[in-house]
Structure 1
């Protein structure tokens, strides 16, 4: 695979906001922006990064974002019962709220729970996903302890009007469909899409579980997205994005006295909107301004009556300046503002807070050497000032082999639930902080690509439930260390891609839990994908395996390890129409990733796709 060199001048010409990827037509080596807030190829990045593009989404025939993400190195998921159910993502053994999530550059997630609703995001309306493993608070502020996941909605840069559509059906009375239209005329472009899915689901709780309904717990989703932009003659670029996902989710609520808890369901709304302006006042100076709003809403009913409402909103502003100092040297300066607000049926002692962040980054390179230095200061209305920083250095041992080392600090502000939820919150909490070290090797030989990374993270003031206070408290420390290995090649006519994660996510708190494994995180994770084309027909398989884990910090409830095997096939009727079939969990493995919640068994799905040329 040939390497692509991106000069600072080229970077500035296509520079984008740190919170956006509205790059023009992608080059042969796609550019990623999340790791450094500026465009780089994966080979140039001084971090462990993964890109999932539209071609891979369709090749794997994934029906949800969690399905896509579970194949990424270092990712472990805990799901409460199948499609649409609450899904927690643990990246490199960190907590589920230690991962910053962006959609089209806008920070998303619930200000009350601290996590993003991955299960509600419409996979058919996604163009690409970038995953950065390792701390990025020095660029993004709070939450980026374990890493950053950035999701970009569809954008087709092709000329003229290009419609697309898909329709699918399968097990558990599952049905799905999507349609959209993209267009470009001169310097203007747009992409609009809608997506819908409906499934009867499975019985979330085991039939033997006392006090739960013996029924299927269904899920449905209706989503729409819009992206559009225009480039003026003077070089000014304006674009905007909008994504809304509405969901209805049935679930089981405990009912030990048979007097309450039946008919439990929730209606959710995820909404993200953003506007961006980009221009160059001077040749070496690129300015990006972006404003956005993300909303997370949920209304729950139980026993045929209203139960609760949560409505959180996050407004953000960003001003970034990319300055080319000289060939191979770029300075990035910027300011972020964020306002979080909580509404709903639950009264919180505090229901809003502001955070202002100021950051600087220096990207440099000379000969075989590359480096990245970043420093950030966050002024949080509730938790005062937090300084974070990172340094990374890379050295090309040869044209095909590079080594790198990085160090970074990060922090995570407590959520509104941890601070103020009535009868539970603790307003005296401090922010969680971390320090991480990573060493890596990556190779691009003629036969494929490979990467090896070793990491170690220490988290201080980790928030956990304190039985003495009967509330959350900064009682824990955690030490996470591990190794990730990935390999891709072609052998016997098949495309092979594999990754293995070995990690030790352990508590380092005083007391009985010292040395115990952090809950719901597997120590061993293996993924293997193989694919091959036979003319118009293509076939593939995915193996996913995880070792045992514990459901609780006391390590009393053990969850067994498991392995699932998926098969897929595709037939191209012509350049525009495709027929797809997929079998998931072929061997009907019986397993749980969260104690007491079933996972789907063997299932079959069929899809037809159309994409105009």
Structure 2
């Protein structure tokens, strides 16, 4: 088989694509069935899987609050959640003007997101890097990591309803990889009455985005579907070289979900999505060598989530899903057209979960069983990697009556059996205490772990032209963490809110890249070489001095140290700040938002192609966006804006698109 034949192979999910694209529109003329009166609550329509079967307990306050589920795997109003959850809701997403989740989080307070050339986006929570952050879509693991990180730029915001972020070790509920926390990206839900929208955006560099979503109903089945496409033009931050920092790219996505209310006790949720990213760029190498790089990624996600309410206090839910991530990477020399790299990677995961939830007096109990199988096949691995895990977890939410509902105590424990690394125990304890209707204190303790990924275990790759080799290490041990979080929030209705948080994380057996042989060729490998301590503070404020004006301010401080050397950990800024100012009056709005990131130290690392990158120090930078909106002009919303107002960018440390003005038009319909 030739390289071109090999490269041409692709997934062909035509049948699924037709279903995703046309099924909702054929169903939109049907009326949804009315629910039976006085029946047990089965599910929140926009909750992630496994879906909580029981509704959240009625809060003391009368005002309506958004509902979150990620912190405890049960439904709570945002203010009443025992575990602090940072929420980015649909209105925040719309106001941001962000095209993808990475772009959204880059300007968000409380998290640190960055991009690197050829590696997509990376995100850190409480100083712990992307390898230690578990990314979920509707409560389900996302796969396809690049050097341990999920590239969030592959997730368009056109299909996102909200994002819930839980910081600190979360392995007691979610298992491996959740040392630093969990990011749960929840897609749109709804029925025909939820309406829909189509958005088109173009900027001065001819980057184009077009996406839409619509609710639909067919008898007792209702759901939502979304689709979109984007076209990105290349950009170059260093005109002195042929390489570019952002390549040409086309991407498309289709997704749909359906919720079938079978009877007053049972329901079934179904979902499916397909994403295609096809990009080209020019990469530089050593000795002034340059390469044409073509990267194609296809991803399929399907799942089913049955739910059954036995009575008003007991319910059972399940979740079964399968993800397949397919990556083709072709690199040819610009000098003579010879093939430098021609690789395929297939990453697959299948997960099944059953969860029981029961309320009894002062207690709300959940228990669950989980089975997971993961497989990675790649040309540069010594052999195909496979692992399976089985887990059991339990949690109790105790609200003592003698404290009049002000105190919530949440202990939890999870046991994982890993086919490669044996038994893993992950405990946690969370506390919430309401000092008053305005002041709430929270505290949390937890342990987490991360098993080495297949590339760290099995990689075997040599580049003779550059003179290096990278070898995996099958003797690696899991990384482990212990974390403590303390926080306080103050709410003054819609006028003001403040939140303060402090954290301390200790990570043992950190996996790092080290040079094992001086060469030639130079040999790099992975070792459990260090432990690290990360201590920090976060503060966020939202103020509305008068109705048309809203101000948001935030600051974060991080002290990250390698316990062996005392050095600052690579790539982590000590200081960061965020701000947003929005003025809205008479369906018109003007907004300025941005972040400032302090200087960062970088150590030797491996890029996407496995090439060692040099150590160095990156200076501080600021990203600001300006946006003006005209809302509900008939059924249309119009926005104009400018991203990266200060035209920040650096080929090595900040390879983001230069300053660009854009025009955006949204048609809303019901």
- TM-score where L is the length of structure 2: 0.83
**Are 1:379 and 2:421 counterparts?**
no
Tell me the equivalent position of 2:27: none
How far apart are residue 572 of structure 1 and its match? Answer: 2.3
Contact 2:542 2:551 (C-alpha < 8 Å) held by counterparts: yes
2:352 aligned to which of 305, 312, 317: 317
2:96 counterpart of 1:60:
yes
Match of 1:28 in 2: 64
Change (3 A) 1:149 1:421: same
Q: What is the match of residue 390 of structure 1?
A: 428
- 2:543 corresponds to: 489
Note if 1:566 corresponds to 2:566. Answer: no
The Cα shift of 1:110 comes to 2.6
Deviation, 1:24, is: 11
1:190 partnered with 2:190: no
1:295 CA drift (Å): 2.1
Counterpart contact for 2:315–2:358, Cα < 8 Å: yes
1:3 maps to none
* Residue of structure 1 in register with 2:510 after alignment: 462
Deviations 1:528-568 (A, max 9, x none): 11212121211111021011001226995110001122110
Task: Tell me what 2:243 maps to.
Answer: 213
User: Counterparts of 1:268-287 in structure 2 under 5 Å?
Assistant: 268-287=297-316
What stretches of structure 1 move > 6 A for 4+ residues in a row?
A: 9-13, 15-18, 22-27
Q: Which of residues 522, 531, 547 in structure 1 aligns to 2:582? A: 531
**What do residues 505-541 of structure 1 show as CA deviations (whole Å, max 9, x unaligned)?**
22112xxxx1211111111111111212121211111
Q: Map 1:159-170 to 2 at 5 A.
A: 159=193, 162-170=195-203
Q: Where does residue 236 of structure 1 map in the other structure?
A: 266
The aligned counterpart of 1:143 is 177
Q: Give 1:119's match in structure 2, choosing from 153, 162, 172.
A: 153
User: 1:247: which partner in 2?
Assistant: 277
Partner residue, 1:38 = 74
**71-80 or 600-609, which moves further after superposition?**
71-80
Q: What corresponds to 2:478 in structure 1? A: 431
Question: Match of 2:428, SS?
Answer: strand
For residues 548 and 523 of structure 1, do their structure 2 counterparts lie closer, same or farther at Cα, with a shift above 3 Å needed?
same
Secondary structure of the corresponding residue to residue 202 of structure 1: coil
Matched, 1:452 2:485: no
Change (3 A) 1:489 1:185: farther
Shift of 1:106: 1.4
Please state how far the C-alpha of 1:273 moved relative to its aligned partner. 1.5
Q: 1:6: which partner in 2?
A: none
Query: Compared with structure 1, are the counterparts of its residues 485 and 12 closer, same or farther at alpha carbon in structure 2 (3 Å cutoff)?
Result: farther
Structure showing greater Rg: 2
Q: Are the equivalent residues in 2 in contact too, given 1:223–1:245 (CA < 8 A)?
A: yes
1:190 to partner: Cα distance: 2.0
2:293 corresponds in structure 1 to 264
Q: Does structure 1 conserve the Cα–Cα contact (< 8 Å) formed by 2:377 and 2:384?
A: no
Question: SS in structure 2 opposite 1:253?
Answer: strand
SS at match of 2:452: coil
Q: SS of the residue aligned with 1:67?
A: helix
| Alpha-carbon separation, structure 2, partners of 1:72 and 1:544 | 7
Distance change >3 Å, CA 310–CA 546, structure 1 → 2: same
User: Following the alignment from structure 2 to structure 1, what is the Cα–Cα distance between the partners of residues 187 and 273?
Assistant: 8
Where does residue 504 of structure 1 map in the other structure? 559
1:577 aligns with 2:631: no
Unpaired runs of 5+ residues, structure 2, are 1-38, 57-62, 461-469, 518-523, 606-613
Change (3 A) 1:90 1:561: same
Measured in 1, the distance between the counterparts of 2:75 and 2:558 equals 30
Q: 2:211 aligns with which of 178, 187, 191?
A: 178
Partner of 1:517: 568
- Structure 2 residue matching 1:519: 3-state secondary structure: coil
How many residue pairs align between the two structures? 591
| Match in the other structure for 2:489 | 442
Q: Deviations over 1:148-167 (max 9, x none)?
A: 0111222234528x342111
2:343 corresponds in structure 1 to 308
The 1-side partners of 2:244 and 2:473 are apart by 37
Shift in Å, 1:479: 0.5
Alpha-carbon distance between aligned partners in 1 of 2:583 and 2:526, rounded to the nearest angstrom: 51
1:369 and 2:404 correspond: no
> Contact between 1:112 and 1:416, CA under 8 Å: does it hold in 2?
no
Structure 1 unaligned segments of length 5 or more: list them.
1-8
Question: Structure 2 vs 1, CA of residues 242 and 18 (structure 1 numbering), >3 Å: closer, same or farther?
Answer: closer
The alpha carbon displacement at 1:233 in A equals 1.9
Aligned pair in 2 of structure 1 residues 355, 121: CA closer, same or farther (>3 Å)?
A: same
> In the alignment, is residue 201 of structure 1 matched against residue 248 of structure 2?
no
* Shift in CA distance, 255/111, structure 1 to aligned 2, threshold 3 Å: closer
Aligned partners of 1:180 and 1:193 also within 8 Å = yes
- Paired with 1:285 and 1:25, the residues of 2 have a C-alpha distance of 11
Equivalent residues in 2 for 1:346-357 (5 A)?
346-357=380-391
Shift, 1:115, TM fit? 2.6
In 1, Cα distance between the equivalents of 2:472 and 2:248? Answer: 32
Tell me the alpha carbon deviations over residues 307-353 of structure 1, each in whole angstroms, 9 at most, x when there is no partner.
11111011100010111121x41011001111110123334335210
Distance (whole Å) between structure 2 residues aligned to residue 577 and residue 147 of structure 1? 38
Secondary structure, counterpart of 1:601 in structure 2 = coil
Decide whether the 8 Å contact of 1:483 with 1:503 is kept in 2. Answer: yes
**Residue pairs, 1:469-480, within 5 angstroms:** 470-480=524-534
1:294 corresponds to: 323
Deviates more, 1:547-556 or 1:468-477: 547-556
